[in-house]
Every structure is written in structure tokens, then in C-alpha cells.
Amino acid sequence: MARYIIQRILWMIVVLFFISLITFTMMHTVPGGPFDQEKKLPDEIVANLQERYNLDEPYWKQYLLYIDNVVVPEITQEETASMLDETLINIPLPRGYYFRWMNFGPSYSSRSRTVNDIVRDQLPVSIQLGLISMTVALLIGLPMGILAALNQNTVWDFLGMSVAILGVSVPVVAMGPVLIWIFGVALKWLPPTGWGAQPPYTLFFIPRTLFSWDFWRYTLMPAFAVGTGNSAIIARLTRASLLQVIHEDYIRTARAKGLAERTITTRHALRNALIPVVTILGPMFAAVLTGLFVVEQVFGIPGLGRYFITSITNRDYPVIMGTILLYAIFLVFANVLVDITYAWLDPRIRYG
């Protein structure tokens, strides 16, 4: 088991290097740099800027410098390396030392904020939205899937699965405005745009206003818009998995023992049927978190997805690189976690 975990983690690191290399090459093969403006800058200024951001070095050296900054942790005594706080992980150690890791560098378009500042401001909002969306997806999807499986080939089953298919097929681009029209403009129940939490956050992403309606009223519509699509996936998976389980022999045994139908469903069937559903939650959360661009744009939520679009228009390469790398870390981590979970559940994979 330990060997398998080490194998997967090593592979995870290789994948991340590969993704960073792809992104870096992609970004540096296109003509036009971040300092190309309508009014041409004087050559000396461009030269200075390029030196400041290491843009005058050859590409391979730029890449190595970037990787060095991101990957290699530093232990320093200084308060901060510069005026700007450039590292994402910054832990104070005893005797005035600091453990600094993941330096994503400066932002080209924002003079006062580094990539790290941007991530620290925007990512928590995306995580909040992603977590609430997942909760909505579970709250809708699980009951729907269970209901459909227990009443297989009845009206309930048909209805539930039709709703699921529609949920998968309605894009957020269409769902968002309709929700805003109904609940934000016509009924005026919920604020149409905005977000109800500001930094600082406790534990990186928990807002101080967690228990107030002020926070939740902003989250309901976007979470629903994202959640329905995923609830459909959860519903389908729950249905399929539960259908497979209730035809197993041990369910028949339980029934033959004379157990109540309710006990059989909750204790014997559901507990086993939910294993695939639980394992998909990790990758699903990573996928949701890295795909929030449209919903954040439509609902005006200050998350990382929305900032990513801004940095695309600004050609803010370090922000683009940093965001993609962070997203890749989430995705890779979630997938490796599932692999390890499966290996733990099923020994055949471990030794396969």
C-alpha cells in the first residue's frame, strides 16, 4: 500500500511539471507581450521591465527560475523578501524564521498586488462557492437517485431521470440569467449579483459572516446554477450503484432474515451503494472549482475564475500561469486521492 501511494504521489509531481511546461510554452510562443501597449513604451523602460521580470533571459532559464520559485521552499529570517508578499505559504517559525513556499511571482498588470495576493483574495470565494454548490448538488442528487432506484421503471424513475438529463443539459450561461430574472428582478427575494463575504477569512476560506443571512442570500442562486448540473451526475450514479447493490445476494439474505425494508435500504443497501458516490465527490469538487468562470461572471462574484478572465485580457502571464498551476494541483490531488481510496478499498488495484 505504501509503495502504491508513493508511486502515485511521484507520478502526481511529474504530471504537475508536465502541465507547467505545457502552459509555459503555450504562453511564450505567442507573439505580443504584456508590455505591448497602444502607445509604445521607451526602449529603456521596456528593458528595465524585462530585467525586473527576468524576461530578458532565454526561455529555458525563465522556466527554471519560475519552477525554482514555485517548488523550492525557503527558510529566511527577513520579515518579507520585498514590500510585496510573494509567497502563498508563509508560516512563521520560532526565532524569527519564516517558512516560505510557492512564490508565484509578481503580477504584470497589478502594480500593488502579487499573484499570491490575488490568489489569497479570490480563491477563498471560489472555494466557498464550490463547496456550497457541491452541497446543493448532493441535496438534490442523492434523494433523486435513491427515489429513482427504489421505484425502478415507474413514473418516479422516469421523472427523476428526465430532470437529471435536463439538469446536465442546461448551461450556466442560460440558467444564471433566468434565475436572476425570477428571484433577483421579478420577485426581489435575492440580490441579483455580488458576494457577501470579504477577507480576511479564517482557515483560508471560512468567512466571518458564515452564520448570517447576509452571506447566504448571495450564494443561493449561483450555487443552484452550478449545483443542478452536478446533481444530475450524482443522481445517475446513485441510481446505477443502488440498483446494482439491491440485486446482490446479501440484500436477499437480509430480506429473508425478515428485516424491515427500511433497515435493508439504509443499513445494507445505501451504505454500500454510496461508496462510488463518495469517491466521485473529490474529483467533482475539483472540476467544479476549476470551472466557475461563467457563473462568477454572470453573478458578479469576485472569485478566481472571474479574475482569470480579466488577466487573460490583460495578458497577465504570471497570474494565468499561477491559476492554471493551482487548478492543476487541485485536479491532480483529487484524482490521486481517489486512486488511493480505490486501492485501499480494492486490493486488486494495489498489486495490479
Partner 1 sequence: MSDTVYSGADVAPSLWRIRLKLAWKSFKRGWNMFRENPIGLIGLAVILFFGLMAILHPILMATVWEQRVYDPIIGYDFEVLAHPSPPSWLPQPDVPMHTPSLRHVLGTDPLGRDVLSQLMYSTQSEFALGIMAALVTVLIATTAGAVAAYFEGVVDIILMRLADVILMLPFIAILIVLSSMFDFQMIHLAVVYGLLAGFGGNTIVIKSQALSIKVKTYIEAARIAGGNDWHILFTHLVPNLLPLSFLYMMFTVTNAIFSEAVLSFFGLLNIRMSWGIMIQTAQAAGYLLSSWKYWYLMFPAGLAISLLCSAFYLVGRAMDEVVNPRLRKR
Footprint on this chain of partner 1 (rule: CB under 8 A): 11, 15, 18-19, 22-23, 26-27, 30, 165-166, 168-171, 173-175, 177-178, 180-182, 185-186, 192-193, 290-291, 293-294, 297-298, 308-309, 312-313, 320, 323-324, 327-328, 331-332, 335
Closest CB to partner 1 among 254 and 295? 295
CB of 327 to partner 1, least distance (A): 4
What's the longest Cα–Cα distance across the chain?
87
CA atoms lying within 13 Å on the CB side of residue 155: 0
What SS3 class is residue 105?
coil
| Beta-strand pair 74-76/87-92 | unpaired
Closest CB to partner 1 among 162 and 253? 162
Residues facing 206 on adjacent strands: 202
Closest CB to partner 1 among 223 and 320? 320
Closest CB to partner 1 among 31 and 258? 31
CA atoms lying within 13 Å on the CB side of residue 85: 14
Count the Cβ atoms, other than its own, within 10 Å of residue 332: 20
Closest CB to partner 1 among 217 and 259? 217
CB of 15 to partner 1, least distance (A): 5
| Residues 245 and 267: beta-carbon distance below 8 Å | no
CB of 290 to partner 1, least distance (A): 5
CB of 104 to partner 1, least distance (A): 15
Closest CB to partner 1 among 19 and 147? 19
* Cell numbers that stand for 35 in this block: 508590455
CA angle centred on 22, ends 173 and 121, rounded to 5°: 55
DSSP string, 150-205: HTTTSHHHHHHHHHHHHHHHS-HHHHHHHHIIIIIIIS--S-SS--S--S--BTTT
CB of 331 to partner 1, least distance (A): 5
CB of 326 to partner 1, least distance (A): 9
Residue at 5: amino acid letter = I
Cα 145 to Cα 77: distance, rounded to the nearest angstrom: 55
Closest CB to partner 1 among 11 and 344? 11
Cα 296 to Cα 292: distance, rounded to the nearest angstrom: 6
CB of 35 to partner 1, least distance (A): 16
329: left (phi over 0), alpha (psi -120 to 50) or beta: alpha
CA angle centred on 315, ends 312 and 318, rounded to 5°: 95
CB of 187 to partner 1, least distance (A): 11
Q: Which helix (H) or strand (E) holds 268?
A: none
CB of 97 to partner 1, least distance (A): 34
